[in-house]
Amino acid sequence: MLIRSLLALPALIGTFLSSGCAADGTPPAKSVHEFVLTANDGKPYPLAQHAGKVLLIVNTASKCGLTKQYAPLEQVWKQYQARGLVVIGIPSNDFLGQEPGTNEEIAAFCSTKFGVTFPLMAKVAVSGGDQAPLYRYLTQHSAKPGKITWNFNKFLVGPDGQVIDRFDARQDPGAPEVTAVIEKALGALK
């Protein structure tokens, strides 16, 4: 009986892990608001502080052909911040080492080169074995799952912490098709 139980153990573990539970047995998050990130300055940054607002979460990089998207991200932030949008930049060095700097260097670059004032987080892995828990949720358990394909993938999150939409890395954050979805989400806040 013990041997039969031990032989069945790998299958049970596989079933358990494929159910979405973490290796420690905790069930998967049900909302983006359950995550606490680390801000660029090293302080905890609970996403729950933005409950009731619309979030645009973007994995960023400073040495990428798409780095110029910092400018329209800042523009979108300034345009919609008063209405309840929060843009959150999350640097990652996962794609061809295009974010090699320290958190301090990243903040200085974003501020001086693009005038970024939206919240920047500490650098994390958005894919692979060291994938940050938020990105594991976004890519595996959200309403818009799928791999992070490159720098500047964008997730639009509703006031309830659920992913509303997702935009490809090459999609300009200020494009009408993106701002139309942002406008609709913000319209639901009234």
pLDDT in tens, 75-118: 999 999 999 999 999 999 999 999 999 999 999 999 999 999 99
CATH of 31-187, one of 3.40.50.1000, 3.40.50.10300, 3.40.50.720, 3.40.30.10: 3.40.30.10
pTM to 2 decimal places: 0.86
The secondary structure of the chain as a DSSP string is -HHHHHHHHHHHHHHHHHTT--TTSPPPPSSGGG-EEEBTTS-EEEGGGGTTSEEEEEEE-SSSTTGGGHHHHHHHHHHHGGGTEEEEEEE--TTTT---S-HHHHHHHHHHHH---S-BBPP---SSTT--HHHHHHHHTSSS-----STT-EEEE-TTS-EEEEE-TTS-TTSHHHHHHHHHHHHTT-
Which sequence spans correspond to the domains of the chain?
A: 1-28, 31-187
pLDDT in tens, 137-162: 999 999 999 999 999 999 999 999 99
Residues with active-site annotation? 64
